[in-house]
Amino acid sequence: MEEIIKTSDIVKLYVMGNEELYALKGVSMTIHKNEYVAIMGPSGSGKSTFMNIIGCLDTPTSGLYELNGQNVSDMDDNELAAVRNKEIGFVFQTFNLLPRSNALHNVELPLIYSGMPKKIRLELAEEALNKVGLQDRMMHKPNELSGGQRQRVAIARALVNKPSIILADEPTGNLDSKTGDEIMELFDNLQTQGNTIILVTHEDFIAEHAHRIIRLRDGLIESDQITQKGLKYQSIKTITA
Amino acid sequence: MNLFTEIRESIIISLNSIRANKARSFLATLGIVIGIMTVTTLQTAIEGINRAFEKSIAAVGADVLYIQKFEWFGKDDWEVYRNRRDIKWQEYEYVERNMNNAESICPTVSTSALVTYQDFTSENVPVFGTTEEYQRTLGMDVADGRFFTKRESDGGWAVCVIGYDIKESFFQGIDPLGKVIQVNGHNFKIIGMYKKMGSMLGLFSLDNRIIIPINKFFKIFGTRRSLTINVKALSVDALEDTKEEVKAVMKRARHIPVGGKEDFGINQQEAFKQTYESLTGLIKTIGTAITLLSLIVGSIGIANIMFVSVKERTKEIGIRKAIGAKRSTILLQFLIEAVTICVVGGLIGLIIAFPISLVINAVLLPTAMPLWVVIIALVISAFAGIIAGFFPALSASKLDPVDALRYE
């Protein structure tokens, strides 16, 4: 299987005044195409830092990070922006939609930044909103949508550029459990359609949707396991193959 | 992402943000509004004054020298002028005889008199005495009838040419040609009329005058008044040569040695222009200072509000960066927002200035807001926006996406 993410010995050091804080102390791992991975860990484990690096929002102090074959560990701001635009679809806990823009425009935004012509942009944005079941809410602004609907808009925005990975940070943290289940079901579907999904969470029942769980503690990988669901998925795949 | 989409997107974003903060944006742009209002109103007014000036200055021919007792805009102390001699008929004759570089020369002398026609009277009507060379020298053509001839002039005949206002006030609906009017009780036959010429800088009317042969003038009013000798040069380019010759000839007429200082004034349109230009120059300087000041204050206001806007929208900047906005994109977005606010302010300034220019046009002087002033005003506004928006936009573009996303 094709390697999408490959980190080797990632270190992240924060210097605050005289104090040095190692958020990551050497993290090495590989994620393949169409994997469904949950990254877990208590607060202070380096989970967020790792997610920021994986998401190309931040760069490691040392170590190597290859995303889809390109070394992104020492790219500058503008190159990283281009990589984020093309390769990564973010889904945040607080949705992070632009409050003054309607759903369609929010979804269209990554395509604007990649310089796509308007006609194609609108087609793709509508298609993405269809996929998350919001075809009749396109002209609504975030404050006219429910929490679940907002997160669906955010997922549509993450999908629209057909990124290499979808990176979801506590995607159900601000939702009630029923809506949360629906959103997780959506992620499950997206994975079966061929997307690579990385969930960052501290909730076990969310992580159980994934096929593989990587646990971080004190800036290091504590464990890296295949879940029940992952085993089942693999066996089904082997049988169908 | 291509620049056109980027700019278009930024304009939409900034219009949305202005719409969301109407009162704040308006207050922020007030300095720009006032600046643009001042600069356009002032330019419009100056444009009007210029046009009025050009129109009236045309009456003072560009190629004519006026030899008079005093300079129009004397700069020396009064002492220098106090003992000056009047300009005499003999001096005119001497100049007339001895000038080579002149197209034509005529003397003028004036006073004001009581004018009567049947039951109508008018006091203090300016009366000018001159010769038949008047027309050619000062280039004022008679619209109806004719000017008087050399024979009529030399003989001091009782004929006159009248200005437009005289015709209007004495002869409503009647043809004045051939009618007889009284000037200080003396009969004059009207042989010609001028068309409407307007006033000189709004100060004195060129239409309210009666022109009679100079020899008749001397008979009625005496010969004790100082003359003006009007000398038309061969061309505008030859004016300076003519001026030198006039100076020399007049000095000889008055027996002033070659190195001596002349005790008469040689006036020309140029003197008016210089005085006028120094006056409008002053108005312009003051206006520019006011404009500049309000634009600086305005820009500071815009810069301030842009910093607030960047701070408020830190999260938005984080989101945009996360989904792929480059530094330059964010920079451009906030720069365009500042420019948009300023240009909107400039437009408001123009919208306020336009009716003011109409009022000036109706009440003070004929004027119109020229297109180039409108364009310059908008360019200045945009420029102020770029200056004011640059540092806030730069600070926005430099935000770290991780910190910006975490900002609440």
Q: Is the dihedral of CA A159, A161, A163, A168 positive or negative?
A: negative
The residue of chain A with its CA nearest to that of B321 is A81
Q: Are B192 and B108 in contact (CB under 8 A)?
A: no
> What integer pLDDT is reported at residue B207 of this predicted model?
86
- Residue at A143: amino acid letter: N
Half-sphere exposure of B103 (CA within 13 A, CB side): 18
Question: What b-and-e string marks burial along B391-408, b requiring 16 or more CB atoms within 10 Å of the CB?
Answer: ebbebbbebebbebbeee
> What integer pLDDT is reported at residue B292 of this predicted model?
87
Nearest to A114 among B17, B324, B405 (CB): B324
- Inspect the interface and report whether the beta carbons of A55 and B322 lie closer than 8 Å: yes
Q: Are B353 and B44 in contact (CB under 8 A)?
A: yes
- Residue at A236: amino acid letter: I
Cα(first)–Cα(last) distance of chain B, in Å?
Answer: 29
What DSSP designation does B235 have? Answer: S
- Inspect the interface and report whether the beta carbons of B323 and A52 lie closer than 8 Å: no
Q: Which of residues 5-24 of B touch A (CB under 8 A)?
A: 5, 9, 16-17, 20
> What integer pLDDT is reported at residue A234 of this predicted model?
82
Q: Are A39 and A200 in contact (CB under 8 A)?
A: yes
Cα(first)–Cα(last) distance of chain A, in Å?
Answer: 13
**Which residues of chain A does B318 touch, with a Cβ-Cβ cutoff of 8 Å?**
96
Q: A85 — contact with chain B (CB < 8 Å)? A: yes
- Inspect the interface and report whether the beta carbons of A57 and B402 lie closer than 8 Å: yes
Q: A95 — contact with chain B (CB < 8 Å)? A: no
**Which residues of chain A does B1 touch, with a Cβ-Cβ cutoff of 8 Å?**
112-115
Q: Is A91 exposed, middle or buried (0-12, 13-18, 19+ CB in 10 A)?
A: buried
The residue of chain B with its CA nearest to that of A86 is B324
Q: A120 — contact with chain B (CB < 8 Å)? A: no
Residues whose CB falls within 8 Å of the CB of residue B329, separated by 6 or more in sequence, listed in order: A113, B1, B6, B320
Angle CA(B90)–CA(B94)–CA(B96) in degrees, nearest 5?
115
Both tokens of residue B92? 């005119």
**Which residues of chain B does A98 touch, with a Cβ-Cβ cutoff of 8 Å?**
316, 319-320
Q: Cα separation of B61 and B208, whole Å? A: 19
Nearest to A98 among B5, B316, B321 (CB): B316
Nearest to B9 among A58, A112, A157 (CB): A112
The residue of chain A with its CA nearest to that of B319 is A96
Q: B406 — contact with chain A (CB < 8 Å)? A: no
pLDDT, tens only, B241-281 = 999 999 999 999 999 888 888 888 888 877 777 778 888 88
- Inspect the interface and report whether the beta carbons of B323 and A113 lie closer than 8 Å: yes
What DSSP designation does B149 have? Answer: P
Nearest to B319 among A82, A86, A98 (CB): A98
Q: Cα separation of B41 and B374, whole Å? A: 10
Both tokens of residue A226? 């295949």
Q: Cα separation of B329 and A110, whole Å? A: 12
- Inspect the interface and report whether the beta carbons of A78 and B402 lie closer than 8 Å: no
> What integer pLDDT is reported at residue B204 of this predicted model?
66
> What integer pLDDT is reported at residue B392 of this predicted model?
95
Q: Are A26 and A11 in contact (CB under 8 A)?
A: yes
Read out DSSP for B297-335?
HHHHHHHHHHHHHHHHTHHHHHHHHHTT--HHHHHHHHH
- Inspect the interface and report whether the beta carbons of A78 and B327 lie closer than 8 Å: yes
- Inspect the interface and report whether the beta carbons of B5 and A85 lie closer than 8 Å: no
- Inspect the interface and report whether the beta carbons of B327 and A52 lie closer than 8 Å: no
Q: Are A188 and A221 in contact (CB under 8 A)?
A: no
Q: How far is A231 from chain B (nearest CA, A)?
A: 33
- Inspect the interface and report whether the beta carbons of A90 and B323 lie closer than 8 Å: yes
Both tokens of residue B193? 């009329």
The residue of chain A with its CA nearest to that of B12 is A101
| Residue stretches of chain B with pLDDT short of 50 | 1
In order along its 241 residues, chain A shows pLDDT tens digits of 789 999 999 999 999 888 999 999 999 999 999 999 999 999 889 999 999 999 999 999 999 999 999 999 889 999 999 999 999 999 999 999 999 899 999 999 999 999 888 899 999 999 999 999 999 999 999 999 999 999 999 999 999 999 999 999 999 999 999 999 999 999 999 999 999 999 999 899 999 999 999 999 999 999 999 998 888 888 887 777 6
Sheet holding A62-67, edge to edge: A19-32, A3-16, A62-67, A70-71
> What integer pLDDT is reported at residue B239 of this predicted model?
86
